[in-house]
Amino acid sequence: MTETKKSSSAREIVDQTQTLGRDARKVAEDVQALYETASEQVNLGKLYQDNPYAVLGVAIGVGYVLGGGLFTPFTRRLWRIGSRAFVLPLVAAQLRNQGTSPDKE
């Protein structure tokens, strides 16, 4: 490898590192702005006083996802059960509705 290619590669790495640093700072600034906006618009104390079980449910769900529980056999099983409980009544209602036409009502 010639000296020119080495310096060119090193320069590219430095440039990419600087770009990555700028992007990371921009993401951090955006997250901070989002947090500030959300905290201004949502009074968490009042929300917790009005709906303590909902807040705890959201906290449990977020902790479960952040803890890596999203892609586990337990979650797959829950998803299957939940989708059956939700989809089957919808399909049954659609089939019942197909049997009745607007002209007959």
Structure tokens at 11: 């320069």
Taking the C-alpha atoms of residue 98 and residue 91, their distance in angstroms, rounded to an integer, is 11
Clarify whether residues 52 and 20 are in a common domain: no
Q: Are residues 6 and 34 in the same domain?
A: yes
Structural Rg of the chain based on CA atoms: 26
pLDDT above 70 for 98: yes
| Structural domain for 28, as ranges | 1-41
Identify the pLDDT of residue 4: 64
Decide if 100 contacts 94 (C-beta within 8 A).
no
Q: 0.85 exceeded by the pTM?
A: no
65 plus 82 within the same structural domain:
no
- d(CA 82, CA 65) in angstroms, rounded, equals 17
18 and 7, same domain (yes or no): yes
pLDDT at 29: 93
